[in-house]
Structure 1
């Protein structure tokens, strides 16, 4: 019997990268999984690859009507989630920049998706979970939220710092409603999101040199701690940040 037997989990950004790895692992642990992504075709293909215990939903997290409609659709179908992983996000390589050079439109787009989109996901997860007695919400954070790792990515770093703060605030506000909220902080993890780094040997070597374990993270490195936080084993964990970063922020 898997650790997530009997649970239903929604993962945003589920079509690829960390989101897909987490959804796949959740399914192996016995959960029904919902892969939510603005790329509906990609999410559907990923869900088909996982199997009959997976389904896809098209969801642009920056659009509240789309988020509300997705949660309503799932509830009507008997797939209201017990676990929500707010993982979707963007990092606009070649556009994000140090503050004095940052275009306002790039700032707004990043904040709209990464921070406002996470807020909307959390908001509607809460509205679904509270009447049913609780649930687990997991946010995908970043070392850029806590140190100078993202000095050339002002908008991304600020969006992730806001996400970390949001997680703590919501955890405190809803603990008495049976809602647990935690943030998982991966290090540099090689996914399509960071292809600009992974395809540049010099940039890749530079960032890996700052990870004491000595290698890049993989999406599967993140999945295990999320299983714990989604499961009943994590019943006393809330308002915390779990660093899965190879020691990157321990220096």
Structure 2
């Protein structure tokens, strides 16, 4: 199965690969998983919301029928993560690409550090950092244990400008969790490069998804954040797909431990 580019040509850049994307029931995760399927991969849509993941699979374009499955996973629970990987490896086969994308941003609760409740900190860290850690941990185990003659694979983590600059000064827990993801990626990339496991971070800018309705639904807040984006507009999930395809494919075999920014120039300021 190949996908169509804007000029009508086809690519199929992930043909024959097996991929798993967390947080794939909606937003960036759903867009990336759908694009992976269009690029020829067999994709596992993984999410705590299994009905949502099933719906995302069922709503794939007709030509992609049979290229995807859904699996339920709670990324904060290691037993759930391990079981999901075991199911995927037994059913789909060895994984070539894993996207650790599941995340939360607790608008109305996250706050500057002096005002932040410990429970909000823990809930955010559990999903965004511990969840990424568990997803990456079991991805590395799966990729190092391949028995199909291939070597390693590509792990992609979703970061945030808030982990790079002062953009998230009012979101202490979220910003800290994403900074932790950036550090985790560098460490894992260095530790497993010799095994052929590549690990990179993609940093979307302000991207309008169900995660950020607190901003997108408030005209003043939306205008303020767009004004800090040099390209002058909000991002969409489609803006993130291309770099994920590149990192998951064979063109990126020399890329690891890096941060790829797709943020409209926000962190260039």
1:68 aligns with 2:82: yes
1:242 aligns with 2:265: no
1:47 aligns with 2:57: yes
Q: Considering only aligned residues, what root-mean-square deviation do their CA atoms show, in Å?
A: 0.7
Deviations 1:141-184 (A, max 9, x none): 00000100000000000000000000000000000000000000
- Residue number in structure 2 paired with 1:58: 72
- Residue number in structure 1 paired with 2:121: 107
- Residue number in structure 2 paired with 1:26: 36
SS in 2 for 1:91: coil
Structure-2 separation of matches of 1:137 and 1:53: 20
Deviations 1:174-221 (A, max 9, x none): 000000000000100000000000000000000000000000000000
TM-score by length of 1: 0.99
Deviation at 1:76, TM superposition (A): 1.2
TM-score by length of 2: 0.92
Unpaired runs of 5+ residues, structure 1, are none
- Residue number in structure 2 paired with 1:36: 46
Deviation at 1:80, TM superposition (A): 3.2
- Residue number in structure 2 paired with 1:161: 179
In the TM superposition, structure 1's runs of 4+ consecutive aligned residues that sit over 6 Å from their partners are none
SS in 2 for 1:180: strand
Structure-2 separation of matches of 1:243 and 1:170: 19
Structure-1 separation of matches of 2:50 and 2:111: 30
Deviation at 1:79, TM superposition (A): 3.2
Structure-2 separation of matches of 1:98 and 1:222: 29
Structure-1 separation of matches of 2:32 and 2:53: 13
Conserved 8 A contact 1:87-1:139: yes
- Residue number in structure 1 paired with 2:9: none
Deviation at 1:81, TM superposition (A): 1.8
1:120 aligns with 2:134: yes
Deviations 1:2-59 (A, max 9, x none): 0000001100000000000001111111000100000011001101122310100000
Deviations 1:80-126 (A, max 9, x none): 32100000000000000000000000000000000000000000001
State the aligned residue count: 251
SS in 2 for 1:41: helix
1:7 aligns with 2:17: yes
Conserved 8 A contact 2:18-2:92: no
- Residue number in structure 1 paired with 2:110: 96
